[in-house]
Amino acid sequence: MKFGGTSVADLSKIRNVAKRVKQEADAGNQVSVFVSAMAGTTDQLVGWVEEISPLHDAREYDTVVSAGEQITAGLLALTLQDLGVPARSWLGWQIPVRTNQVHSAARIEEIGTEEVVKRMEDGVVCIMAGFQGISEDNRITTLGRGGTDTSAVALAAALGADRCDIYTDVEGVYTADPRIVPGARKLEKVTYEEMLEMASLGAKVLQTRSVAMAMNHKVRVQVLSSFTNKPGTMVVDEDEIVEKQVVSGIAYAKNEAKVTLVGVKNTPGIASDIFLLLADGNINVDMIIQNETEDGRKTDLTFTVVANDIDKAKDILAGAQNIDFDTVLTDINVVKISVIGVGMRSHAGVAATMFKTLADKGINIQVISTSEIKISVLIEAEYTELAVRALHTAYGLDAA
Ligand code: ASP
Ligand code: MG
């Protein structure tokens, strides 16, 4: 079981979580639990670090921001004990969750199960601090924001658990963000691949890495609410889904920015020069389009980056002596809208429906990118709600 920040936001919510854990244990299950920090705590810790040291040392950042999970792990263990459930807490280094040394975005390399297995066999519920690990040189690391999902899936994989239940404040994975699409429906099942696209395309319910890990190790993940008693959404292998949806969800990501290099000299190697420079600056590029001028001597090159990286990208390109282009234009007033579904592999016309739906609403498409199971377009940010709602209807996803 994993409980996110909103599920452990205060003491009464921690008591509620303890009752849920007790129910599982009383049902005869061996249970281990990962907890996040109380909602808002990690943000506050990050804020303190940034305020006291804008160019902070990443190792000390991890020392500070990992602290929230320690508190909830201990509090939950105490609450369970008071309910008569034998419970004990562990921090990342005690388990241990071994990671690489990439502080603030560390990857799990290995996770110890010996102690957890032994304690669970003795009837103890193991409560663990999520989001944190220990590097080769014995420093505390953290797994990136939202990393407790990955802690939980990693342990479930290592244990060969029957299930990994991720408790949050929504009832599951929806066909679209219910805050902007009133007719959005909870999905009963979604495939790993779809979930991976949804997570990386803006649906924030699971950390992307946790989905990749669940997919690689075939961990059955359930996303459900800790505030209601309803079954959530199962994230499963494609074979488990009989009726494959052509489109199972619409996602949007506002954290995008568009860069256009106008009049780039059209010679072999120019794209590699540009993208190598950006890669060296650690800038992730997402959508890309390129168009030659009629005479073939120049091209315009447009791509998107994470909005926070836009100034850095501009600086890098402005300082690039060896790259021949006329001007660089940027736009942060954009949003990426994606339609996702494994069924589109075997269906024609999915893109046409998307483009027609947007055209009918007078929405201009600036950039397009596709994979086997998704189509993404970049549009002006002010049309986000309109586009998501119209697409939700166009693909027949609205609740009856
Ligand atoms: N507390 C961490 C965060 O807010 C990790 C997590 O909640 O998964 O990002
Ligand atoms: Mg989360």
45-93 tens-digit pLDDT:
999 999 999 989 999 999 999 999 999 999 999 999 999 999 999 999 9
Structure confidence at residue 296 (pLDDT): 87
Query: What region does 274 belong to: left with phi over 0, alpha with psi -120 to 50, or beta?
Result: alpha
Helices (H), 281-398: 310-318, 350-360, 384-394
Across the range 241-256, mean pLDDT stands at 90
Is it the case that residue 321 has pLDDT exceeding 90? no
Question: What pLDDT sits at residue 151?
Answer: 98
Q: How far is CA 3 from CA 178, 188, 237, 252, 366, in A?
A: 21, 20, 23, 25, 39
* 376 bridge partner residues: 338, 369
Atom of ligand 1 nearest to the CA of 68: 1
Question: pLDDT, tens digit, for every residue of 349-370?
Answer: 999 999 999 999 999 999 999 9
Q: What is the per-residue pLDDT for 293?
A: 82
Q: Does residue 223 have a pLDDT over 80?
A: yes
Using only the alpha carbons of the chain, give its radius of gyration.
23
Per-residue pLDDT for 244 more than 80?
Answer: no
Cα torsion through 99, 100, 106, 111, rounded to 10: -20
Distance CA 54, CA 191 (A): 40
Separation in Å, CA 47 to CA 60, 131, 306: 13, 17, 21
Joined together, the tokens standing for residue 11 give: 């003491």
Residue closest by Cα to atom 4 of ligand 1? 42
Find all residues with CB under 8 Å of 319, minimum gap 6, and list them. none
Count Cβ atoms within 10 A of the Cβ of residue 51 and give its class: 0-12 exposed, 13-18 middle, 19 or more buried: exposed
132-168 tens-digit pLDDT: 999 999 999 999 999 999 999 999 999 999 999 999 9
Beta bridge partners of 252: 337
Please enumerate in sequence order all residues whose Cβ is within 8 A of that of 253, keeping only pairs 6 or more positions apart, or say none.
Answer: 201, 202, 335, 336, 338
What is the pTM (predicted TM-score) of this model?
0.89
Burial class (CB in 10 A: 0-12, 13-18, 19+), 381: middle
> For the chain, first and last CA: distance in Å?
33
Q: Best substitution site from 44, 46, 145 to test ligand 1's pocket, by max atoms within 8 Å of Cβ?
A: 145
Fold of 2-169: Carbamate kinase (3.40.1160)
- 3-state percent helix, strand, coil for the chain, nearest multiple of 5: 40, 25, 35
**Are 172 and 187 contacting, i.e. CB atoms less than 8 angstroms apart?**
yes
Ligand 1 pocket, Cβ-based, cut-off 6 angstroms: 4-5, 36-37, 42, 68, 130-131, 145-149
CA 221–ligand 2 middle distance (angstroms): 14
Q: How far is the CA of 69 from the centre of ligand 1 (A)?
A: 8
Q: How far is CA 362 from CA 276, 353, 385, in A?
A: 37, 14, 14
Per the CB < 8 A criterion, the answer to whether 8 and 20 are in contact is no
**Ligand at shortest distance from the CA of 144:** 1
CA 390 – CA 392 distance, rounded (Å): 5
